Structure 1
Amino acid sequence: MAWIDNPIIRFLEEDARCLHHPHDDALVASIRVRDYNTHWVLVDNGSSVDILHYPVFQQMRIEREWLVLTNSPLVGFGGTRIYPLSADTLPITVGDYSQQITKDVTFLVVDCSSAYIAILGQLTLNSWKAVTSTYHLMIKFSTEYGVEEVCGDQVAAHECYIAMLEMDDHLQTMSIEEQ
């Protein structure tokens, strides 16, 4: 099948049929980073960077020598500054087999507490030419074989929210699965 030029990406009410409404849940999805299935990934249109938390980097058994040092701070809500340990490019895959895309993503690796494994921001979403809908908790993007979608996980969004409320200064253990 040939590449479909300029596919129409749209969201229908039926795309949201399996969700509990009304909701104000974050768009939390699962993606594959390298050969690991990662859950609790926040898809954040408002983030200007892609972030991977250091405990995940460690669980993937990536050697510390791979860290590419950076000295530019991330500035968060309220002016909090976090200095990334590195900026590392890793392949990520989203979608199902016939309609998946794999792209290299440059993550800033940070060593701080978070309920999220990673944050996908504008850079990655734009490189996919992705369209997100927080109402539908879904990402849609075009592939060689048509429009693919990645559904957010409403249960995971609630778990992340609760984890963030209960979080203290200790890093929590994050879980990833090798595929």
Structure 2
Amino acid sequence: MQHGELNANKPIAGTINTIDRGAPAGGPAGERLLPKRPRTSEVISFSNEDLKGVETPHDDAVVISMVVNKFDVKCVLLDNGSSANILYFDAYSRMGMTEKQLRRMNTPLVGFTGDSVPVEDEVDLLVMVGLAPRESTVGMGFFMVRLPSAYNAILGRPGLNALQVVVSTCHVLMRFPTSQGVGEVRGDQTVARRCYMATHEAKQPAKVSTSTPDDKL
């Protein structure tokens, strides 16, 4: 559990939980949506004290919750290997947002294996991480992906850099500067493993029976 509380002046409009089925964006959006704010000069570091409550050893991804347009969005994967922020359309639609708020585009996302994912829209949204008073709110752009996913969103390098996040996968923890000191958000290992399994199972090919009528009892 994190110490602190959500800012009472910024009420949550709702919660986006796990999805129940198995050219980089984000750079200019922060400048368009929110002015620059002063940040702390404190050094961001991690120690063995931060391993309390962490199941070790592990190779879990860092999966967090963050507030997007006043919605508590869970199952957000931190991926510094991604050159784009991604929001899945199922999560977007559950925020009560409409397609009129999207900007049309046609830029496929290409992975390391060469596989491409079609992207037809992008959108700028306000993202808040952390707990008051050590919270950070930044505007960032997201590519909209209309495919099923175990995650609601992926925060890639544009979003991580906009928040000036430092991530420790060992500690399942991310920290970032705020005007009130260093803020933090801890990942959820249980959710990370559930999302991993859902993604892995979705990629498994269908099993084909090779039995013949004579094999059946």
TM-score (norm 2): 0.74
Cross-structure match for 1:141: 176
Q: Deviations over 1:89-128 (max 9, x none)?
A: 0001100021111111100000112111100011111111
Q: Distance in 1 between matches of 2:39 and 2:71?
A: 29
Uncovered stretches (5+) of structure 2, i.e. residues with no partner: 1-37, 205-217
1:168 shift after superposition: 6.3
Match of 1:7 among 25, 33, 42: 42
Cross-structure match for 1:53: 88
Identity percentage over the alignment? Answer: 38
**What is the 5 A alignment of 1:1-179?**
5-167=40-202
Question: Residue type matched to 2:103 in 1?
Answer: V
- The structure with the largest alpha-carbon Rg is 2
Q: Deviations over 1:120-143 (max 9, x none)?
A: 011111111111100011110110
Runs of 4+ in 1 over 3 A off after TM superposition: none
Question: Residue type matched to 2:146 in 1?
Answer: D
Matched pairs, number = 167
Uncovered stretches (5+) of structure 1, i.e. residues with no partner: 170-179
Distance 1:36 1:10, change over 3 A: same
Contact preservation (8 Å) 1:67, 1:85? no
Q: Deviations over 1:37-94 (max 9, x none)?
A: 1111000111111000011111111111112011111002421111212110000110
Secondary structure at the aligned position of 1:150 is classed as: strand
